[in-house]
Amino acid sequence: MRGAMRVLKSQRGFSFLGLLLALVIVLILTVTFMKTVGIGGYTLTGEGGPNYDAMGIDRAKLRMRNLAQIETTYWNIHKRFGTWPELHQDMPELRGYTNRAVGGNATPYVPGYDFDIEASSDSFTITATPSPEAGMPEGASILRITENGRLEEVQPE
């Protein structure tokens, strides 16, 4: 009887290698599923590049709303709206943005979009134009936000 109890006690639970193997299998299945459905910005196209259809537009909209809030803050301080170089110089909130030179002008960089900021003393317009060279699909919406905070999606002509 005691010998049978010892055998049962020693065979209880999972081994470390068994748990590790199960974890690796679950991880492989999860990554395969995410690539198949395009979660995490990747698809099984063979390229493994970002899926801008799913995430690029939302990221650009978020950045545009952030820039519109920063423009409003800049106006509250200076009583006029600012250009990108002025915003980038004066506003510490923009330290997370990367500059990209376009036509000699520094503009905020968001993957898949070319941004343009037009500002005057009483208005601003931020326009995000999709860039097919940067991975955006042909026919993606042009995004525009003005001082009233309304974000528009305009189909390219």
Better pLDDT: 2 or 92: 92
- Sequence-ordered alpha helix ranges (H) in 45-83: 52-78
For the ranges 43-47, 111-115, 131-135, the maximum mean pLDDT occurs at 111-115
Say what the pLDDT of residue 1 is.
56
Q: Is the CB of residue 35 less than 8 Å from the CB of residue 93? A: no
Q: Where are the domains of the chain?
A: 2-37, 52-154
Query: Could you report the per-residue pLDDT of 6-48, keeping only the tens digit for each?
Result: 555 566 677 888 889 999 999 998 887 776 665 555 444 445 4
Instruction: Bin 94: left if φ > 0, else alpha if -120 < ψ < 50, else beta.
Output: alpha
Per residue in 66-85, pLDDT tens? 888 888 989 999 999 988 88
114 DSSP 8-state letter: E
